[in-house]
Protein backbone atom coordinates (compact mmCIF):
# COMPACT_ATOMS: atom_id res chain seq x y z
CA UNK A 1 0.00 0.00 0.00
CA UNK A 2 1.18 3.51 -0.81
CA UNK A 3 -0.02 6.86 0.42
CA UNK A 4 0.51 9.98 -1.68
CA UNK A 5 1.76 12.56 0.81
CA UNK A 6 0.82 16.08 -0.31
CA UNK A 7 4.38 17.23 0.41
CA UNK A 8 6.51 14.17 -0.41
CA UNK A 9 4.57 12.34 -3.14
CA UNK A 10 3.81 8.60 -3.26
CA UNK A 11 5.48 6.82 -0.33
CA UNK A 12 5.52 3.29 1.04
CA UNK A 13 3.14 2.39 3.87
CA UNK A 14 6.15 1.71 6.13
CA UNK A 15 6.92 5.43 6.33
CA UNK A 16 3.60 6.14 8.02
CA UNK A 17 2.18 5.60 11.48
CA UNK A 18 -1.58 4.93 11.67
CA UNK A 19 -3.28 6.79 14.47
CA UNK A 20 -6.93 5.83 14.05
CA UNK A 21 -10.28 7.19 12.96
CA UNK A 22 -10.31 10.86 11.90
CA UNK A 23 -12.98 11.40 14.54
CA UNK A 24 -9.91 12.20 16.65
CA UNK A 25 -9.88 15.64 15.00
CA UNK A 26 -13.23 16.46 16.62
CA UNK A 27 -12.00 16.84 20.18
CA UNK A 28 -14.74 17.63 22.72
CA UNK A 29 -14.65 20.92 24.62
CA UNK A 30 -12.66 20.76 27.85
CA UNK A 31 -15.88 21.14 29.87
CA UNK A 32 -17.78 18.52 27.84
CA UNK A 33 -19.48 15.78 29.92
CA UNK A 34 -17.57 12.51 30.50
CA UNK A 35 -19.83 10.70 28.03
CA UNK A 36 -18.62 12.90 25.19
CA UNK A 37 -15.00 12.08 26.03
CA UNK A 38 -15.75 8.35 26.29
CA UNK A 39 -17.40 8.50 22.88
CA UNK A 40 -14.50 10.47 21.40
CA UNK A 41 -11.79 8.21 22.80
CA UNK A 42 -13.36 4.77 22.49
CA UNK A 43 -16.52 4.36 20.41
CA UNK A 44 -16.19 4.03 16.64
CA UNK A 45 -18.43 3.68 13.58
CA UNK A 46 -15.90 1.12 12.30
CA UNK A 47 -17.30 1.12 8.77
CA UNK A 48 -16.83 -1.66 6.22
CA UNK A 49 -16.33 0.68 3.27
CA UNK A 50 -15.16 4.26 3.00
CA UNK A 51 -13.57 5.66 6.12
CA UNK A 52 -11.32 8.55 7.09
CA UNK A 53 -8.37 8.07 9.36
CA UNK A 54 -5.28 9.89 10.55
CA UNK A 55 -1.78 8.91 9.49
CA UNK A 56 1.51 10.47 10.57
CA UNK A 57 4.32 10.69 8.02
CA UNK A 58 6.83 9.62 10.62
CA UNK A 59 9.71 8.82 8.28
CA UNK A 60 9.03 11.67 5.88
CA UNK A 61 7.88 15.24 6.39
CA UNK A 62 6.23 14.56 9.79
CA UNK A 63 2.86 15.82 8.52
CA UNK A 64 -0.39 14.60 10.01
CA UNK A 65 -2.58 13.41 7.16
CA UNK A 66 -6.28 12.69 6.79
CA UNK A 67 -6.64 9.68 4.51
CA UNK A 68 -9.93 8.73 2.87
CA UNK A 69 -9.82 5.07 1.95
CA UNK A 70 -11.90 1.93 1.60
CA UNK A 71 -11.47 -0.63 4.40
CA UNK A 72 -12.76 -3.47 2.23
CA UNK A 73 -10.68 -2.92 -0.92
CA UNK A 74 -7.74 -0.96 0.58
CA UNK A 75 -8.25 1.65 -2.17
CA UNK A 76 -6.88 5.09 -1.24
CA UNK A 77 -9.32 7.81 -2.31
CA UNK A 78 -7.57 10.94 -1.06
CA UNK A 79 -4.78 12.12 1.22
CA UNK A 80 -4.82 15.63 2.62
CA UNK A 81 -2.82 17.48 5.23
CA UNK A 82 -4.65 18.36 8.40
CA UNK A 83 -2.37 21.34 9.06
CA UNK A 84 -4.55 24.28 10.06
CA UNK A 85 -7.60 22.10 10.81
CA UNK A 86 -9.33 23.07 14.01
CA UNK A 87 -9.66 20.22 16.48
CA UNK A 88 -12.26 22.01 18.55
CA UNK A 89 -15.19 20.94 16.40
CA UNK A 90 -16.52 18.20 18.67
CA UNK A 91 -19.74 17.95 20.60
CA UNK A 92 -19.78 20.06 23.72
CA UNK B 1 -25.53 -40.64 15.47
CA UNK B 2 -23.10 -41.03 18.35
CA UNK B 3 -19.50 -41.40 17.25
CA UNK B 4 -17.23 -44.10 18.67
CA UNK B 5 -14.25 -46.23 17.73
CA UNK B 6 -16.64 -49.14 17.25
CA UNK B 7 -18.71 -47.10 14.75
CA UNK B 8 -15.59 -46.26 12.78
CA UNK B 9 -14.69 -49.95 12.65
CA UNK B 10 -18.16 -51.05 11.56
CA UNK B 11 -18.45 -48.29 8.97
CA UNK B 12 -15.02 -49.24 7.65
CA UNK B 13 -16.27 -52.77 7.03
CA UNK B 14 -19.23 -51.52 5.03
CA UNK B 15 -17.53 -48.90 2.87
CA UNK B 16 -18.43 -45.91 5.07
CA UNK B 17 -21.85 -45.74 3.46
CA UNK B 18 -23.81 -45.51 6.72
CA UNK B 19 -22.71 -42.10 7.99
CA UNK B 20 -25.43 -39.51 8.32
CA UNK B 21 -25.06 -35.69 8.12
CA UNK B 22 -23.54 -34.24 11.28
CA UNK B 23 -26.36 -31.70 11.63
CA UNK B 24 -29.75 -30.90 10.11
CA UNK B 25 -30.36 -28.07 7.63
CA UNK B 26 -33.61 -26.61 8.97
CA UNK B 27 -35.61 -23.70 7.54
CA UNK B 28 -35.95 -20.83 10.00
CA UNK B 29 -39.05 -20.89 12.18
CA UNK B 30 -41.07 -17.71 12.72
CA UNK B 31 -40.46 -17.59 16.46
CA UNK B 32 -37.62 -18.52 18.82
CA UNK B 33 -36.93 -18.03 22.51
CA UNK B 34 -33.43 -16.89 21.61
CA UNK B 35 -31.48 -16.20 18.45
CA UNK B 36 -27.70 -16.10 18.15
CA UNK B 37 -26.34 -14.00 15.28
CA UNK B 38 -23.11 -15.59 14.09
CA UNK B 39 -22.34 -19.27 13.44
CA UNK B 40 -18.68 -19.19 14.38
CA UNK B 41 -17.01 -20.81 17.36
CA UNK B 42 -18.35 -18.41 19.97
CA UNK B 43 -21.89 -18.38 18.55
CA UNK B 44 -22.13 -22.15 18.24
CA UNK B 45 -20.68 -22.62 21.73
CA UNK B 46 -23.22 -20.12 23.10
CA UNK B 47 -26.07 -22.06 21.50
CA UNK B 48 -24.71 -25.37 22.78
CA UNK B 49 -24.42 -24.20 26.39
CA UNK B 50 -27.81 -22.46 26.27
CA UNK B 51 -29.26 -25.86 25.41
CA UNK B 52 -27.07 -27.96 27.67
CA UNK B 53 -26.71 -25.80 30.80
CA UNK B 54 -29.95 -23.85 30.71
CA UNK B 55 -32.42 -26.14 28.96
CA UNK B 56 -33.28 -23.72 26.16
CA UNK B 57 -33.90 -25.65 22.98
CA UNK B 58 -36.17 -23.37 20.97
CA UNK B 59 -33.16 -21.41 19.75
CA UNK B 60 -31.47 -20.72 16.44
CA UNK B 61 -28.02 -19.75 15.23
CA UNK B 62 -28.13 -17.47 12.16
CA UNK B 63 -25.05 -17.56 9.96
CA UNK B 64 -24.71 -15.42 6.84
CA UNK B 65 -22.28 -17.85 5.17
CA UNK B 66 -21.56 -21.41 6.20
CA UNK B 67 -20.87 -22.57 9.75
CA UNK B 68 -17.34 -21.80 10.85
CA UNK B 69 -16.58 -19.63 7.82
CA UNK B 70 -15.03 -16.79 9.81
CA UNK B 71 -12.19 -16.54 12.30
CA UNK B 72 -12.77 -20.00 13.80
CA UNK B 73 -11.46 -21.36 10.49
CA UNK B 74 -8.61 -18.90 10.01
CA UNK B 75 -6.75 -18.67 13.31
CA UNK B 76 -3.52 -20.25 14.54
CA UNK B 77 -5.30 -22.70 16.89
CA UNK B 78 -3.49 -21.92 20.14
CA UNK B 79 -5.11 -22.85 23.45
CA UNK B 80 -3.64 -21.40 26.65
CA UNK B 81 -4.47 -19.97 30.06
CA UNK B 82 -1.47 -17.77 30.79
CA UNK B 83 -3.20 -14.52 31.66
CA UNK B 84 -2.17 -12.29 34.51
CA UNK B 85 -4.92 -9.82 35.39
CA UNK B 86 -7.80 -10.71 37.72
CA UNK B 87 -10.78 -10.71 35.40
CA UNK B 88 -8.87 -12.38 32.59
CA UNK B 89 -7.06 -15.05 34.61
CA UNK B 90 -10.12 -16.83 35.98
CA UNK B 91 -11.91 -16.65 32.63
CA UNK B 92 -9.15 -18.29 30.59
CA UNK B 93 -8.54 -20.79 33.39
CA UNK B 94 -12.21 -21.79 33.16
CA UNK B 95 -11.88 -22.03 29.39
CA UNK B 96 -8.86 -24.34 29.58
CA UNK B 97 -10.72 -26.66 31.97
CA UNK B 98 -13.60 -26.80 29.49
CA UNK B 99 -11.13 -27.57 26.68
CA UNK B 100 -9.79 -30.49 28.71
CA UNK B 101 -13.22 -32.10 28.83
CA UNK B 102 -14.46 -30.88 25.47
CA UNK B 103 -14.02 -33.96 23.33
CA UNK B 104 -15.91 -36.22 25.75
CA UNK B 105 -18.57 -33.55 26.24
CA UNK B 106 -19.15 -32.97 22.52
CA UNK B 107 -18.50 -36.56 21.45
CA UNK B 108 -16.20 -35.08 18.83
CA UNK B 109 -12.47 -35.23 18.22
CA UNK B 110 -11.20 -31.65 18.26
CA UNK B 111 -7.58 -32.88 18.35
CA UNK B 112 -6.83 -30.89 21.50
CA UNK B 113 -3.11 -31.35 22.04
CA UNK B 114 -1.56 -30.07 25.28
CA UNK B 115 1.94 -29.98 23.91
CA UNK B 116 3.11 -27.10 26.07
CA UNK B 117 3.54 -23.42 25.27
CA UNK B 118 6.76 -21.49 25.83
CA UNK B 119 6.99 -17.70 26.02
CA UNK B 120 10.59 -16.64 25.52
CA UNK B 121 12.28 -13.79 27.37
CA UNK B 122 15.39 -11.84 26.49
CA UNK B 123 16.35 -9.64 29.45
CA UNK B 124 16.45 -9.64 33.25
CA UNK B 125 13.44 -7.33 33.37
CA UNK B 126 11.44 -9.58 31.12
CA UNK B 127 12.40 -12.59 33.25
CA UNK B 128 11.00 -10.82 36.31
CA UNK B 129 7.77 -10.04 34.46
CA UNK B 130 7.37 -13.65 33.37
CA UNK B 131 8.18 -14.97 36.85
CA UNK B 132 5.41 -12.76 38.15
CA UNK B 133 3.02 -13.89 35.42
CA UNK B 134 3.87 -17.53 36.19
CA UNK B 135 3.10 -16.96 39.87
CA UNK B 136 -0.25 -15.44 38.92
CA UNK B 137 -1.02 -18.48 36.77
CA UNK B 138 -0.12 -20.84 39.62
CA UNK B 139 -2.24 -18.81 42.04
CA UNK B 140 -5.11 -19.22 39.61
CA UNK B 141 -4.63 -22.99 39.80
CA UNK B 142 -3.02 -23.37 36.40
CA UNK B 143 0.52 -24.46 35.65
CA UNK B 144 3.69 -22.53 34.86
CA UNK B 145 7.37 -23.42 34.95
CA UNK B 146 10.08 -20.78 34.68
CA UNK B 147 12.88 -22.19 32.53
CA UNK B 148 16.38 -20.77 32.39
CA UNK B 149 18.38 -20.64 29.19
CA UNK B 150 19.64 -24.21 29.53
CA UNK B 151 16.15 -25.41 30.37
CA UNK B 152 14.81 -23.95 27.15
CA UNK B 153 17.78 -25.22 25.17
CA UNK B 154 17.07 -28.74 26.34
CA UNK B 155 13.63 -28.80 24.72
CA UNK B 156 14.13 -26.27 21.89
CA UNK B 157 17.71 -26.88 20.74
CA UNK B 158 17.17 -25.31 17.33
CA UNK B 159 16.65 -21.70 18.41
CA UNK B 160 19.32 -19.02 17.99
CA UNK B 161 20.28 -18.38 21.63
CA UNK B 162 22.91 -15.76 20.92
CA UNK B 163 21.12 -13.28 18.70
CA UNK B 164 22.73 -9.90 19.31
CA UNK B 165 19.52 -8.02 19.88
CA UNK B 166 17.39 -10.74 21.49
CA UNK B 167 19.61 -13.34 23.23
CA UNK B 168 17.39 -15.98 24.86
CA UNK B 169 17.52 -15.76 28.65
CA UNK B 170 14.85 -18.39 29.23
CA UNK B 171 11.15 -19.03 28.86
CA UNK B 172 7.91 -19.47 30.75
CA UNK B 173 6.58 -22.95 30.06
CA UNK B 174 2.82 -23.48 30.30
CA UNK B 175 2.61 -27.29 30.08
CA UNK B 176 -1.19 -27.42 29.68
CA UNK B 177 -1.10 -24.98 26.77
CA UNK B 178 -1.20 -26.30 23.24
CA UNK B 179 -3.30 -26.39 20.11
CA UNK B 180 -6.56 -27.83 18.76
CA UNK B 181 -8.02 -28.44 15.32
CA UNK B 182 -9.86 -25.19 14.71
CA UNK B 183 -12.51 -26.31 12.22
CA UNK B 184 -13.31 -29.35 14.34
CA UNK B 185 -14.17 -27.06 17.25
CA UNK B 186 -16.85 -25.36 15.14
CA UNK B 187 -18.10 -28.66 13.76
CA UNK B 188 -18.11 -30.32 17.18
CA UNK B 189 -20.13 -27.54 18.78
CA UNK B 190 -22.45 -27.38 15.76
CA UNK B 191 -23.18 -31.09 15.86
CA UNK B 192 -23.62 -31.14 19.64
CA UNK B 193 -25.95 -28.12 19.56
CA UNK B 194 -27.96 -29.65 16.72
CA UNK B 195 -28.33 -32.89 18.67
CA UNK B 196 -29.90 -30.87 21.47
CA UNK B 197 -32.45 -29.34 19.11
CA UNK B 198 -30.78 -26.04 18.19
CA UNK B 199 -31.63 -24.88 14.65
CA UNK B 200 -28.44 -24.00 12.75
CA UNK B 201 -29.51 -21.78 9.87
CA UNK B 202 -26.89 -21.08 7.23
CA UNK B 203 -26.90 -18.58 4.36
CA UNK B 204 -29.11 -16.39 6.51
CA UNK B 205 -27.80 -12.86 6.87
CA UNK B 206 -29.30 -10.59 9.48
CA UNK B 207 -30.30 -7.30 7.85
CA UNK B 208 -32.07 -5.60 10.74
CA UNK B 209 -32.74 -5.85 14.46
CA UNK B 210 -36.33 -5.15 15.53
CA UNK B 211 -36.68 -3.03 18.64
CA UNK B 212 -39.99 -1.91 20.18
CA UNK B 213 -39.99 0.44 23.18
CA UNK B 214 -36.35 -0.27 23.95
CA UNK B 215 -36.79 -4.03 23.82
CA UNK B 216 -35.64 -6.43 21.14
CA UNK B 217 -38.46 -8.34 19.42
CA UNK B 218 -36.64 -10.16 16.65
CA UNK B 219 -34.47 -9.82 13.57
CA UNK B 220 -34.93 -9.27 9.86
CA UNK B 221 -32.96 -11.66 7.68
CA UNK B 222 -32.43 -12.57 4.05
CA UNK B 223 -34.63 -15.60 4.81
CA UNK B 224 -37.47 -13.59 6.32
CA UNK B 225 -38.38 -12.05 9.66
CA UNK B 226 -37.72 -14.06 12.82
CA UNK B 227 -39.24 -13.14 16.17
CA UNK B 228 -37.10 -13.71 19.24
CA UNK B 229 -37.34 -12.80 22.91
CA UNK B 230 -33.57 -12.62 23.21
CA UNK B 231 -30.89 -11.91 20.63
CA UNK B 232 -27.15 -12.41 21.03
CA UNK B 233 -24.68 -10.68 18.70
CA UNK B 234 -21.62 -12.93 18.35
CA UNK B 235 -20.08 -11.70 15.11
CA UNK B 236 -16.44 -10.80 15.90
CA UNK B 237 -15.01 -8.49 13.25
CA UNK B 238 -18.47 -7.54 11.98
CA UNK B 239 -19.69 -6.40 15.41
CA UNK B 240 -19.71 -2.75 14.33
CA UNK B 241 -22.16 -3.34 11.49
CA UNK B 242 -24.52 -5.61 13.43
CA UNK B 243 -24.56 -3.35 16.49
CA UNK B 244 -25.30 -0.39 14.20
CA UNK B 245 -28.57 -2.13 13.25
CA UNK B 246 -29.57 -1.65 16.88
CA UNK B 247 -28.34 1.95 16.87
CA UNK B 248 -25.22 1.19 18.93
CA UNK B 249 -21.64 2.36 18.48
CA UNK B 250 -19.06 0.04 20.00
CA UNK B 251 -15.56 0.49 21.42
CA UNK B 252 -14.29 -1.71 18.60
CA UNK B 253 -12.15 -1.13 15.52
CA UNK B 254 -11.70 -4.01 13.06
CA UNK B 255 -8.14 -4.82 11.96
CA UNK B 256 -6.58 -7.52 9.83
CA UNK B 257 -4.21 -10.10 11.34
CA UNK B 258 -2.21 -12.33 9.06
CA UNK B 259 -1.11 -15.92 9.52
CA UNK B 260 0.98 -18.32 7.46
CA UNK B 261 1.52 -22.03 6.94
CA UNK B 262 4.42 -23.83 5.28
CA UNK B 263 4.39 -27.00 3.25
CA UNK B 264 4.11 -30.16 5.35
CA UNK B 265 7.29 -31.22 7.12
CA UNK B 266 8.24 -34.12 9.35
CA UNK B 267 7.75 -33.42 13.08
CA UNK B 268 10.23 -30.73 14.07
CA UNK B 269 8.51 -28.27 16.42
CA UNK B 270 6.84 -30.09 19.28
CA UNK B 271 5.59 -27.10 21.29
CA UNK B 272 3.96 -23.75 20.77
CA UNK B 273 6.73 -21.14 20.83
CA UNK B 274 6.03 -17.47 21.36
CA UNK B 275 8.72 -14.90 20.57
CA UNK B 276 6.96 -11.81 21.85
CA UNK B 277 9.78 -9.35 21.24
CA UNK B 278 9.74 -10.22 17.54
CA UNK B 279 5.94 -10.45 17.35
CA UNK B 280 6.21 -14.05 16.23
CA UNK B 281 4.76 -17.36 17.34
CA UNK B 282 4.78 -20.80 15.80
CA UNK B 283 3.56 -24.35 16.16
CA UNK B 284 3.38 -27.36 13.87
CA UNK B 285 0.06 -28.79 12.80
CA UNK B 286 -0.63 -32.52 12.87
CA UNK B 287 -0.53 -32.38 9.08
CA UNK B 288 3.07 -31.14 9.29
CA UNK B 289 2.73 -27.51 8.25
CA UNK B 290 4.43 -24.89 10.38
CA UNK B 291 1.67 -22.50 11.42
CA UNK B 292 2.89 -19.06 12.41
CA UNK B 293 1.85 -15.48 12.70
CA UNK B 294 2.78 -12.07 13.94
CA UNK B 295 1.19 -8.78 14.73
CA UNK B 296 -1.68 -6.82 13.24
CA UNK B 297 -1.21 -4.86 10.03
CA UNK B 298 -2.15 -1.90 12.24
CA UNK B 299 -4.79 -0.06 10.31
CA UNK B 300 -8.55 -0.56 10.18
CA UNK B 301 -9.41 -3.14 7.53
CA UNK B 302 -12.08 -5.63 6.50
CA UNK B 303 -10.08 -6.96 3.55
CA UNK B 304 -9.28 -10.47 4.91
CA UNK B 305 -5.86 -10.11 3.34
CA UNK B 306 -2.81 -8.35 4.56
CA UNK B 307 -0.06 -6.06 3.47
CA UNK B 308 3.47 -7.06 2.47
CA UNK B 309 5.43 -5.09 5.09
CA UNK B 310 3.93 -7.29 7.83
CA UNK B 311 4.66 -10.43 5.80
CA UNK B 312 8.28 -9.34 5.63
CA UNK B 313 8.36 -8.51 9.35
CA UNK B 314 6.97 -11.91 10.36
CA UNK B 315 9.44 -13.77 8.12
CA UNK B 316 12.32 -11.74 9.54
CA UNK B 317 11.24 -12.54 13.08
CA UNK B 318 10.99 -16.24 12.26
CA UNK B 319 14.45 -16.29 10.69
CA UNK B 320 15.84 -14.41 13.69
CA UNK B 321 14.45 -16.91 16.16
CA UNK B 322 15.02 -20.17 14.31
CA UNK B 323 17.19 -19.81 11.21
CA UNK B 324 16.40 -23.41 10.23
CA UNK B 325 12.94 -22.48 8.97
CA UNK B 326 14.47 -20.54 6.10
CA UNK B 327 14.43 -23.79 4.15
CA UNK B 328 10.69 -24.27 4.56
CA UNK B 329 8.48 -22.91 1.81
CA UNK B 330 5.42 -20.90 2.71
CA UNK B 331 2.34 -22.56 1.30
CA UNK B 332 -0.39 -20.07 2.15
CA UNK B 333 -1.06 -16.87 4.02
CA UNK B 334 -4.38 -15.40 5.01
CA UNK B 335 -5.94 -12.63 7.04
CA UNK B 336 -8.68 -12.58 9.63
CA UNK B 337 -10.73 -9.61 10.76
CA UNK B 338 -10.06 -8.90 14.43
CA UNK B 339 -12.54 -7.01 16.60
CA UNK B 340 -10.02 -4.87 18.49
CA UNK B 341 -11.04 -3.11 21.70
CA UNK B 342 -9.07 -0.20 23.18
CA UNK B 343 -7.69 -2.26 26.10
CA UNK B 344 -7.30 -5.56 24.25
CA UNK B 345 -9.89 -7.44 26.33
CA UNK B 346 -13.30 -8.76 25.30
CA UNK B 347 -16.91 -7.82 26.00
CA UNK B 348 -19.65 -10.22 27.18
CA UNK B 349 -22.47 -8.03 28.36
CA UNK B 350 -26.00 -6.72 28.03
CA UNK B 351 -26.55 -3.74 25.75
CA UNK B 352 -28.75 -0.68 26.41
CA UNK B 353 -31.47 -2.53 24.44
CA UNK B 354 -33.43 -5.00 26.63
CA UNK B 355 -32.98 -8.59 25.50
CA UNK B 356 -30.04 -7.75 23.23
CA UNK B 357 -26.66 -9.14 24.29
CA UNK B 358 -23.16 -8.86 22.89
CA UNK B 359 -20.15 -11.17 22.86
CA UNK B 360 -17.35 -9.41 20.97
CA UNK B 361 -13.98 -7.72 21.16
CA UNK B 362 -11.88 -10.90 21.15
CA UNK B 363 -8.98 -9.07 19.56
CA UNK B 364 -6.45 -11.62 18.31
CA UNK B 365 -7.12 -14.14 21.10
CA UNK B 366 -10.58 -15.52 20.55
CA UNK B 367 -9.89 -19.15 19.72
CA UNK B 368 -8.82 -20.38 23.15
CA UNK B 369 -11.76 -18.48 24.65
CA UNK B 370 -14.44 -20.28 22.62
CA UNK B 371 -15.65 -22.72 25.33
CA UNK B 372 -15.75 -20.20 28.19
CA UNK B 373 -17.12 -17.45 25.96
CA UNK B 374 -20.02 -19.68 24.94
CA UNK B 375 -20.48 -20.81 28.54
CA UNK B 376 -20.58 -17.26 29.92
CA UNK B 377 -22.63 -15.76 27.08
CA UNK B 378 -25.19 -18.54 27.55
CA UNK B 379 -25.26 -17.83 31.28
CA UNK B 380 -25.80 -14.13 30.63
CA UNK B 381 -28.55 -14.67 28.06
CA UNK B 382 -30.36 -17.26 30.18
CA UNK B 383 -30.12 -15.61 33.59
CA UNK B 384 -29.60 -11.93 32.80
CA UNK B 385 -26.52 -11.84 35.03
CA UNK B 386 -22.85 -11.96 34.11
CA UNK B 387 -21.12 -15.23 34.88
CA UNK B 388 -18.62 -14.71 37.76
CA UNK B 389 -15.57 -15.49 35.59
CA UNK B 390 -16.67 -13.00 32.90
CA UNK B 391 -17.95 -10.31 35.24
CA UNK B 392 -15.31 -7.78 34.21
CA UNK B 393 -15.93 -7.99 30.45
CA UNK B 394 -18.28 -5.01 30.58
CA UNK B 395 -19.37 -2.90 27.64
CA UNK B 396 -19.15 0.33 29.65
CA UNK B 397 -15.76 -0.27 31.26
CA UNK B 398 -14.05 2.43 29.19
CA UNK B 399 -16.49 5.00 30.53
CA UNK B 400 -16.17 3.78 34.12
CA UNK B 401 -12.39 3.30 34.00
CA UNK B 402 -12.48 -0.43 34.88
CA UNK B 403 -10.27 -1.37 31.97
CA UNK B 404 -8.57 -4.75 31.52
CA UNK B 405 -5.24 -3.87 29.94
CA UNK B 406 -3.39 -7.19 29.99
CA UNK B 407 -0.47 -5.85 27.93
CA UNK B 408 -0.13 -2.71 30.01
CA UNK B 409 0.04 -0.51 26.93
CA UNK B 410 -3.01 1.70 27.44
CA UNK B 411 -6.70 1.88 26.66
CA UNK B 412 -6.96 3.66 23.35
CA UNK B 413 -7.37 2.21 19.90
CA UNK B 414 -4.32 1.05 17.99
CA UNK B 415 -2.25 0.29 21.12
CA UNK B 416 -2.83 -3.48 21.21
The 10s digit of each residue's pLDDT in A13-42 is: 999 999 999 999 999 999 999 999 999 999
pLDDT band at residue A92, thresholds of 50, 70 and 90?
very low
In B17-135, which ranges are E strands?
31-37, 59-62, 78-79, 117-121
* Domains of chain A in sequence order: 2-81 (3.30.2270.10)
Q: Do B249 and A39 touch (CB under 8 A)?
A: yes
- What DSSP string describes B138-202? HHTT---EEEEHHHHHHH-TTS-TT-SSS---EEEEETT-EE--HHHHHHHHHHHHHHTT-EEE-
Q: Do B251 and A19 touch (CB under 8 A)?
A: no
User: From the CA of A58, how many Å to the nearest CA of chain B?
Assistant: 15
Q: Which residue from A12, A20, A45 is facing B413, i.e. has the nearest CB?
A: A20
Q: What is the pLDDT of residues B157-216, one digit of tens each?
A: 999 999 999 999 999 999 999 999 999 999 999 999 999 999 999 999 999 999 999 999
Tally C-beta pairs within 8 A across A and B.
73
Residue B21 inside a domain? The answer is no
Tell me which residues of chain B have a pLDDT lower than 70: none
User: B46 and B139 in one domain?
Assistant: no
Instruction: Answer whether residue A91 shows pLDDT above 60.
Output: no
Residue B371 inside a domain? The answer is yes
Sign of CA dihedral B397, B402, B408, B411: positive
User: B381 and B313 in one domain?
Assistant: no
pTM of the model: 0.96
Q: Do A44 and B413 touch (CB under 8 A)?
A: yes
Q: Do B399 and A21 touch (CB under 8 A)?
A: no
- Domain limits at B244? 26-112+177-251+344-416
Strands B330-340 and B253-262: antiparallel
Domain boundary pick from B284, B310, B340: B340
Query: What pLDDT is recorded for position A89?
Result: 52
Q: Do B414 and A14 touch (CB under 8 A)?
A: no
User: From the CA of A57, how many Å to the nearest CA of chain B?
Assistant: 14
Q: What is the pLDDT of residues B385-405, one digit of tens each?
A: 999 999 999 999 999 999 999
Instruction: Answer whether residue A88 shows pLDDT above 70.
Output: no
ipTM over 0.90: yes
User: Which positions in chain A touch B414 (Cβ < 8 Å)?
Assistant: 18-20
Give the CATH number of the domain where residue B384 resides.
3.50.50.60
Q: Which residue from B251, B303, B309 is facing A74, i.e. has the nearest CB?
A: B303
User: Of B301, B345, B398, B412, which to mutate for an interface test with A (greatest number of A Cβ within 10 Å)?
Assistant: B301
Could you give the number of structural domains in chain B? 2
User: Which positions in chain A touch B246 (Cβ < 8 Å)?
Assistant: none
Residue B17 inside a domain? The answer is no
Domain boundary pick from B340, B365, B400: B340
Query: What pLDDT is recorded for position B246?
Result: 98
User: Which positions in chain A touch B239 (Cβ < 8 Å)?
Assistant: 46
| pLDDT, averaged across chain A | 92
Amino acid sequence: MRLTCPLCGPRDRREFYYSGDAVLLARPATDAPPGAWDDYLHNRDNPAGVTQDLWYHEQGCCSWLKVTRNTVTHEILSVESVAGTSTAGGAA
Amino acid sequence: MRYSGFKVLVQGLFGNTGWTPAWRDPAPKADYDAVIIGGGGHGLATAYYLAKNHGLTNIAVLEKGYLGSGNIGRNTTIVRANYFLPGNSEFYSHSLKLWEGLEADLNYNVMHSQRGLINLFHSDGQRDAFARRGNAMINQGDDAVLLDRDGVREILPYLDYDNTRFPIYGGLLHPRGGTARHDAVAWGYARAADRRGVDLIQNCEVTGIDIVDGRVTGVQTTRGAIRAKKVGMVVAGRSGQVAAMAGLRLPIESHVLQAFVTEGLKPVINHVISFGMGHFYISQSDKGGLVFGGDLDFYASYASRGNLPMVEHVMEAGMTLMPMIGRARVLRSWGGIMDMTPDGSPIIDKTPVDGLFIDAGWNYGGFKAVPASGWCMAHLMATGDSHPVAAKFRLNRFATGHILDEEGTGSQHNLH
